[in-house]
Amino acid sequence: MNKKLNLLQVYRGIAALMVILHHGNGIVSRELHQNDLYLLQVFHFGWIGVDFFFVLSGFIIFYIHQSDIGKPDKFTPFVFKRFIRVYPLYWSILGIKILVSLFNTGQDSIYQRSADEIIKAILLVPQDRSILESSFIGVSWTLSYEVFFYCIFGFLIFKNTKIYQAIIFAWIIGIIFNIFNILPIGKSYLPNFIFSPHNLEFVLGCLAAYTIYKYQFKFGASLIYASIFLLMISVINTKYGEFNVSGISSLVAYGIPFTLLIIGSVHLEVSKAINVSPILIYLGNASYSIYLTHGFFLSNISKIFNKLIEKFNILHLIQNHTIYCNAIASIIIILTVLMGCVVHSYIEKPLIGNLRKKVFAKMT
């Protein structure tokens, strides 16, 4: 249980890239005024990267901290580690976003938001996604789920009582009831957040880690193949609706296959040495920076390219506009990832490193 799992770190990078390609289709198409960016449209299913992130997070937290459950002295270090993993970089990016917004007096500016909405955005308290997408950081709604899961797991570390275990069990049952629309919570945002199927993806990740901890398997590769097959079926259904599973949530369509993929990959990596490219591991390390900043860079890099295209009247000089615009879109995606890596290397790493040295060292 103490082995470093490089494959999972690679998966973090893949999940971030999937989300970028999904958002890139809409953002780049809008900014370049093109509707035929086929290279990006292929990745219409990229939003499932969020489901992958949630299952991975559940696995990693349980994998690292399962021995801390029921040990109150481990609570403060856990909270600090989770805090510096999420908030410092998020606040840095959000601060820049708010400063830029101060110069914007349009409909989506910070001036249109109440103090309550701003405070919620800063603290990652759950609120309507449309508010976050228009005025703050769009993907921050996913971080609210992360923080909520950390709170639940953190309390399990602080006080692992039978009563709290019963509460967690009742919460999981409530989520299952909500999936089948038999939980009487109406349309209120907070109850739907608490009992969202997304929360069960963290639980699936924990169950995957528990399975690794408890059992020995000899068919890790088979699980990987099975998970890829199930993911392909779900992706095809998402695009074409070929299979009659329209009522199945992303929890079943993607959460379960990702869980199988993680179990199979971990068993495979534990059982034998697997060489993983340092570049792929680095992309996994930089995934949070890439994830937080990709919307900003996608939009602004696309605007720069659009200005250049208009200024030099490039499209009139090219016979095949489609190939040209798809090539430009690919360059924009690559530059977005590279800029996210720059943020990771020169902002995120120094920021977290200094906090660990100056604060965490005093706590231990």
The residue with greater pLDDT, 247 or 335, is 335
| CA–CA gap between residue 313 and residue 305 (Å, rounded) | 12
Name the residue with tokens 């890139």.
Answer: 24
77-81, 175-179, 358-362: least confident range: 358-362
**Average pLDDT in the chain:** 88
**118 CA to centre of own chain:** 22
Q: Given phi > 0 = left and psi -120 to 50 = alpha, else beta, which region is 33?
A: left
**35: confidence class by pLDDT, cuts 50, 70, 90:** confident
What is residue 245's predicted lDDT score, i.e. its pLDDT? 47
**273: confidence class by pLDDT, cuts 50, 70, 90:** confident
What is residue 282's predicted lDDT score, i.e. its pLDDT? 96
- Per-residue pLDDT for 260 more than 80? yes
pTM: 0.92
Tokens of 145: 């789920």
The residue with greater pLDDT, 359 or 136, is 136
- Per-residue pLDDT for 101 more than 60? yes
Per-residue pLDDT tens over the stretch 150-184: 999 999 999 888 899 999 999 999 999 988 888 88
| For range 102-119, the mean pLDDT | 78
Q: What is the per-residue DSSP string for 284-329?
A: HHTHHHHHHHHHHHHHHHHHHHHHHHHHHT-GGG-S-HHHHHHHHH
| For range 16-25, the mean pLDDT | 93
CA trace torsion 210, 214, 218, 221 (10° rounding): 10
| CA–CA gap between residue 143 and residue 126 (Å, rounded) | 9
What is the share, in percent, of the chain residues with pLDDT greater than 70? 91
Sign of the C-alpha dihedral computed for residues 283, 284, 286 and 289 taken in this order: positive
**278: confidence class by pLDDT, cuts 50, 70, 90:** very high
What three-state secondary structure class fits 300? helix
Per-residue pLDDT tens over the stretch 289-343: 999 999 999 999 999 988 887 777 766 656 566 777 888 889 999 999 999 999 9
Q: What is the CA radius of gyration of the chain?
A: 22
Sign of the C-alpha dihedral computed for residues 124, 130, 132 and 137 taken in this order: positive
| CA–CA gap between residue 28 and residue 33 (Å, rounded) | 8
Sign of the C-alpha dihedral computed for residues 85, 88, 91 and 92 taken in this order: negative
Per-residue pLDDT tens over the stretch 201-245: 999 999 999 998 888 767 778 899 999 999 998 888 877 765 544
What is residue 8's predicted lDDT score, i.e. its pLDDT? 94
What is residue 179's predicted lDDT score, i.e. its pLDDT? 86
Q: Cβ of 154: how many Cβ atoms within 10 Å?
A: 18
- Per-residue pLDDT for 39 more than 80? no
| For range 117-126, the mean pLDDT | 95
